[in-house]
Amino acid sequence: MEIFDCHIHIMSEETLQLTEEWKKHRSRVGLPEMELYHIDKTSGMWLDELDSNGISNAVFLAFHPNNEACLKFINHSDRFIGFTAIDPTEPDAAERLERDFKAGFKGVKFYPVSRKFHVDDEKASGVYEICRKYKAPVMMHFGISLGLKTDMRYGNPIDLHSVAKEFADLNFIIPHFGAGMMRECLFLSYHCDNVYFDSSGSNSWMRYLPYSLTLRQVFRKFIDVAGIDHLLFGTDSSFFPRGYRRDILDSQAHILRKLAIPKRDQERFFSGNIRRLFRL
């Protein structure tokens, strides 16, 4: 079965500053050791990881717009699909985003929780217009976040409702099943057909809910409510030496088998849906 990972981060010497503050934060939240390399070496290592884990393609996420190193990275292989990142409320955001789409990025990620903006801010409309022009999907992180400077006031997926209605021809992706905002995501799926959910990461947000929940139950609920057509596979792989998070792929494949999801639907989850979003 083809595996297309919709969520991997580009972390290299050029794209990430490993400050003392970050190192402390990483160890506090229990993240494993991380080594950063030159972008050329990093892109080669990721291509090897895709090969050795049987991954056909992957979406690679940048942290900032107009980043030369990330552009170099995504040009390394046509199996890499690049997403730039932007604060859509910044005055020059639309122009900067268009520059990235012209350069080859195929989508954009928003970090409202760590960059402190609401995705329904009127100032963001220029950015949505550019996404519409380039038929580019928009990924938005809501819920709890690993980021160093987070503000949960910006973490509610309900902010997306009016945007998804207004830009009904755009596709939106909420990672990690909403990272704790599961109820809000399921509500959104009732109202909007253009909102997708990715399964990436350890989904450790389940630990912070006031009731017990397993990832298997999360899958069951999202499949029943949002539909398998609205779910995208991802791992949230990001750095070395950890490399590709094969354990996440294996455990999610196991869950789908246990839920007796038909093979055709599993194929949609693992590659078909994301291919449809990119018209591949």
Please give the residue ranges that form the binding site for Zn ion (CB under 5 A): 236
Give CA–CA dist 50/235, Å, rounded.
12
Nearer to Zn ion, 100 or 236 (CB): 236
Nearer to Zn ion, 159 or 236 (CB): 236
Nearer to Zn ion, 60 or 117 (CB): 60
The reply to whether omega before 88 is within 30° of 0 (cis) is no
CB 151, min distance to Zn ion, A: 18
Nearer to Zn ion, 203 or 273 (CB): 203
Nearer to Zn ion, 124 or 248 (CB): 248
CB 28, min distance to Zn ion, A: 18
Encode the chain in three state secondary structure: CCCEEEEEECCCCCCCCCCHHHHHHHHHCCCCCCECCCHHHHHHHHHHHHHHCCCCEEEEECCCCCCHHHHHHHCCCCCEEEEEECCCCCCCHHHHHHHHHHHCCCEEEECHHHHCCCCCCHHHHHHHHHHHHCCCCEEECCCCCCCCCCCHHHCCHHHHHHHHHHCCCCCEEEHHHHCCCHHHHHHHHHHCCCEEEECCCCCHHHHHCCCCCCHHHHHHHHHHHCCHHHEECCCCECCECCCCCHHHHHHHHHHHHHCCCCHHHHHHHHHHHHHHHCCC
CB 241, min distance to Zn ion, A: 18
Nearer to Zn ion, 14 or 236 (CB): 236
Question: Quick check: 153 and 115 in contact, CB under 8 A?
Answer: no
Give backbone dihedrals phi and psi of 12, rounded to 5 degrees, phi first: -140, 175
CB 247, min distance to Zn ion, A: 16
CB 251, min distance to Zn ion, A: 17
CB 237, min distance to Zn ion, A: 9
CB 190, min distance to Zn ion, A: 26
222, two tokens = 């999202």
Nearer to Zn ion, 49 or 236 (CB): 236
